[in-house]
Amino acid sequence: MSNQFQLMQEKRFRPFFFTQFLGAFNDNVFKTALITLVAFHTASLTSIDGSTLATLLPGLFILPFFLFSATAGQLADKYEKSQIIRLVKVFEIGIMLFASMGFFLHNIWLLATALFMMGMHSTLFGPVKYAYLPQHLSEHEIVGGNGMVEMGSFVAILLGQVLGAWLAMQNEHAALTSITVLGIAALGYWTSRGVPNSPAAAPKLHVNWNPITETCKSIKFIWQHQAIWLTIIAISWFWFYGATLLAQFPNFAKNILHGDESLFILLLSIFSLGIGIGSLMCEKLSKGKVELGLVLFGACGLTVFGVDLYFASTSIYESLNNKALLDYAAFIAKHYDATGHLIFTYWRLLADIALIGVFGGLYIVPLYAFIQTRAEKSHQSRVIAANNILNALFMVASALFSVQIFNLGLNIPQLFLVTALLNVFIMIYLCIRQPVYLRTFMAWLKPNP
């Protein structure tokens, strides 16, 4: 049996883990600092409406995943991966220098361009990130390794968002933010120098630089391998579900729970830590093997606690008879309703969000491990690139889906309910198309003789 924490002592994993952690951390520090500046200091940056910019900027970060993922997948298959990682880290330092100019000059166009380039940075790193693991981890280590990476990614996202928001609110935000993002980028390059050699999977591959034709080719390739195609659809659905929740957390905290910014950060923290815990639990629950039975187990939790989140949040919204904003401490300490009766709804809501995260981690890690072990070695990076394209597409679809739900007159808790129930139909479709998910789930539930 493997111990995923022992991997942190080994050179084949530790430098890579910290390199990807710092990359995700810097992405979110910069992105959150920029969006916070736009929200609170729009007039000093541009005459464009702040709410419009806050909507457009995340899309600008996602756009490179559509444009460059296919090319990034080819490069990761054709060239040695540790060299690509180091070049991407040098690129990150250049982007942060560019972003620093934008902060000091208060130039929204420089900052927007830097955000687009950080999207390119993540696009280039993604295929390498997931294709690296099966080259350096044995099959019984792959689940634990993926669990560590997913845990690290979500903790990095959480810390990056908190730090980015804090930096943007400081008086000397330009200097502080610039020093921070440049320092993280430089540290990321330093850790990347320890990443071991990772031979090219397809050194004779001819790179097709046309992103449209190569994207179509990548999608066609995974469609021909239906087990991988359905796994990628399942992964993309997770990003749809997660993006739907996370995009609404700020307004959910403010308008439904009557909370301030600190309550939003609490919800985000609990969800992210839940994902991390669920990801780490996968190795133990799967006994070190790629266990697809965990996927349906995780999906059950996403629906059960997603539905309960609707009931808990609706109960809180209906019970609040004042408009005073609660901070996170007041929310946690609220044990009695207006009539003096003891209530547990507030803690129940926090538990729902935490458990959605935990079951999300249980759901996603086996799917990534399945792709890594089933995809042809010569096509692993391109398969991951195709996965990234579909993930981005589903995240955009989640935004359009939310808008449509609101146009129908539904509120945020009802959006969460619809999404949780829709998860049931997605899982039924997955089991019909690929019965192995249900079969392995039933086998996993049976106690060992």
Q: What's the CA gap between 95 and 394, in Å, rounded?
A: 27
- What's the confidence (pLDDT) of residue 309? 94
Q: What is the pLDDT of residues 117-151, one digit of tens each?
A: 999 999 999 888 888 888 888 888 888 888 898 89
336: three-class secondary structure by DSSP: strand
Q: What is the pLDDT of residue 181?
A: 94
For residue 384, being part of any structural domain is answered with no
In a domain, 40, yes or no: yes
pLDDT of 360 reads: 94
Residues 199 and 255 in one domain: no
Q: Is 106 left (phi over 0), alpha (psi -120 to 50) or beta?
A: left
DSSP string over 232-284: HHHHHHHHHHHHHHHHHHHHIIIIIS-B-HHHHHHHHHHHHHHHHHHHHHHHH
Residue 291 is classified by DSSP as: -
Q: What is the pLDDT of residue 342?
A: 47
Determine how many CB atoms are found less than 10 A away from the CB of residue 264. 20
Determine, yes or no, domain membership for 393. Answer: no
3-state class (DSSP) for residue 44: helix
At 434, is the secondary structure helix, strand, or coil?
coil
- Are both 435 and 298 inside the same structural domain? yes
Tokens standing for 289?
Answer: 């093997």
What's the pLDDT at 419? 95
pLDDT computed for residue 284 by the predictor: 85
Which of 185, 201, 218 is the C-terminal boundary of a domain?
Answer: 218
pLDDT less than 50: residues of the chain: 1, 340-342
pLDDT value, residue 42: 57
Q: Which one of 188, 218, 248 terminates a domain?
A: 218
Domain count for the chain:
2
Task: Let me know if residue 330 belongs to a domain.
Answer: yes
Is residue 324 classed exposed, middle or buried when 0-12, 13-18 and 19+ CB atoms within 10 A define those classes? exposed
Claim to verify: residue 230 and residue 214 sit in the same structural domain? no
Domain hosting residue 141, numbered range: 1-218
Alpha carbon distance 8, 107 (integer Å) = 41
In a domain, 185, yes or no: yes
**Whether residue 34 is found in the same domain as residue 182:** yes
Whole-number Å distance between alpha carbons of 189 and 210: 29
pLDDT in tens, 344-375: 777 889 999 999 999 999 999 999 988 888 88
Check whether residue 166 and residue 260 sit in a common domain: no
269 and 343 share one domain:
yes
Closest CA to 352 of 321, 296, 405, 307: 307
Q: Which residues pair with 259 in a beta bridge?
A: 326
* Burial zone of 179 (CB within 10 Å; 0-12 exposed, 13-18 middle, 19+ buried): middle
Task: Decide which of 218, 245, 278 is a domain's last residue.
Answer: 218
C-alpha separations of 101 from 96, 104, 189 in Å: 9, 5, 21
Shared domain check, 266 and 210: no
Residue 394 placed within a domain: no
Residue 413 within any structural domain of the chain: yes
Q: What is the CATH number of the domain that holds 205?
A: 1.20.1250.20
Q: Three-state DSSP class for 326?
A: strand
Residues 331 and 353 in one domain: yes
Would residue 320 count as lying in a domain? Answer: yes
Its pTM stands at: 0.85
Same domain, 264 and 162: no
Do 270 and 337 lie in a common domain? Answer: yes
Same domain for 73 and 191, yes or no, is: yes
Residues 85 and 192 grouped into a single domain? yes
Instruction: Estimate to the nearest angstrom the gap between the alpha carbon of 421 and the chain centroid.
Output: 22
- Within 13 Å of residue 69, how many CA atoms lie on the same side as its CB? 26
pLDDT recorded at residue 95: 94
